[in-house]
């Protein structure tokens, strides 16, 4: 793959240089939109399918630089990270055909290893990573959650100071968990659900997630630490479906069948919603463990007014 040269003019030398991976994705695109409003940063965006990110946001090339790079290509990643101060690792490989869904862990592992090596080679000062919230032992984790945890461990092998945020269900348009919620409630008057809908979680609005991520750039208190982030309420997926239905002024009936497996549930979600089974299955499988914030210390370091569930859904 031919790599586009990364160049900096004199006007941006004094700006902190920020790298955002997964820049066209659910989280990454929102991080970029927030960063371009801040005059102290020059942003390099990495995406596997190059889009006119800068043009879409109405900003010039001296503020944002967009590169088409796959993190599986170490040499391209090494060049892209030249001169970077802080790097966001927001890559996620859960995609593709249903029968190949397990391969995402291998891709994530290789991408994280390349990223850690390239960060060390370029003396990147800080890496910010968004992982999954769980308190389960590794031997009990779903493959999806185990992969998210492993990526964080790999990033810590770099010389950079690594800040890890762990979130459960993220409420925002384009997020897999929210899309399942949205389409199941909107399309079905009667739902046959597995027991995972009774698992407790702590959903958080996408806007609040991005706020935590971006504000941590300048805060040394977050360096080298892991933080759980969540909204104000602990809810089950069943609670969320009922409350979403109330917002729509819709009556729904839910029947819980304990023996429904994640595999069968994922095919059902694939049939009813736009969420593919390859994404639904690892998401559903990870819901077998509670995902509740265990340490609220981030709220003192980055005090923000968290959105309530209904406000987050309306925003989405």
DSSP structure string for 80-148: HTTT-SEEEE------S-GGGGGGHHHHHHHHHHHHHHHHHHTT--EEEEEEE---S-GGGS-HHHHHH
Q: How many CB atoms lie within 10 A of CB 78?
A: 16
Per-residue pLDDT tens digits for 177-205? 788 778 778 877 777 777 778 889 999 99
Segment holding 201, helix H or strand E: strand 200-201
- Token digits of residue 121: 């080679």
Burial of 84 (0-12, 13-18, 19+ CB in 10 A): buried
Where b means 16+ CB within 10 Å and e means fewer, 135-165 reads ebeeeebbebbbbbbbbbebbbebebbbbbb
- Token digits of residue 134: 């769980």
Q: Whole-angstrom Cα distance, residue 90 to residue 175?
A: 13
pLDDT, position 7: 40
pLDDT, position 94: 58
Which segments in the chain show pLDDT lower than 70? 1-14, 49-62, 93-102, 259-286
Per the prediction, the chain carries an average pLDDT of 83
pTM of the model: 0.86
pLDDT, position 276: 66
pLDDT, position 66: 86
pLDDT, position 307: 95
User: Residue 235: what are its φ and ψ, rounded to 5°?
Assistant: -135, 155
Q: Whole-angstrom Cα distance, residue 284 to residue 265?
A: 8
Q: Are 67 and 80 in contact (CB under 8 A)?
A: yes
pLDDT, position 10: 40
């Amino acid at each position: 793959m031919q790599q586009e040269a990364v160049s900096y003019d004199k006007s941006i030398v004094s700006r902190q240089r920020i790298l955002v991976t997964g820049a066209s994705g659910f989280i990454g695109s929102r991080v970029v939109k927030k960063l371009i409003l801040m005059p102290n940063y020059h942003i390099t965006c990495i995406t596997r399918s190059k889009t006119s990110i800068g043009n879409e946001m109405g900003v010039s090339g001296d503020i944002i630089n967009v590169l088409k790079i796959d993190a599986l290509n170490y040499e391209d990643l090494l060049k892209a990270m030249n001169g970077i101060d802080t790097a966001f690792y927001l890559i996620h490989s859960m995609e593709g055909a249903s029968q190949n869904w397990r391969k995402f862990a291998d891709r994530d592992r290789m991408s994280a290893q390349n990223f850690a090596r390239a960060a060390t080679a370029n003396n990147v000062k800080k890496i910010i990573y968004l992982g999954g919230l769980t308190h389960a032992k590794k031997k009990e984790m779903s493959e999806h959650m185990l992969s998210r945890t492993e990526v964080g461990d790999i990033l810590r092998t770099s010389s950079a100071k690594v800040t890890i945020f762990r979130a459960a269900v993220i409420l925002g348009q384009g997020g897999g968990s929210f899309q399942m919620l949205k389409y199941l409630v909107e399309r079905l008057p009667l739902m046959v659900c597995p027991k995972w809908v009774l698992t407790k979680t702590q959903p958080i609005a996408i806007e609040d997630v991005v706020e935590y991520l971006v504000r941590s750039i300048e805060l040394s208190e977050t360096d080298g630490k892991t933080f759980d982030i969540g909204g104000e309420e602990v809810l089950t997926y069943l609670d969320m479906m009922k409350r979403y239905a109330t917002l729509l002024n819709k009556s729904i009936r839910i029947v819980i069948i304990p023996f429904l497996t994640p595999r069968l549930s994922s095919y059902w979600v694939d049939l009813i919603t736009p969420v593919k089974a390859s994404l639904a299955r690892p998401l559903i499988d990870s819901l077998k463990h509670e995902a509740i914030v265990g340490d609220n210390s981030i709220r003192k370091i980055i005090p923000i007014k968290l959105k309530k569930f209904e406000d987050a859904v309306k925003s989405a």
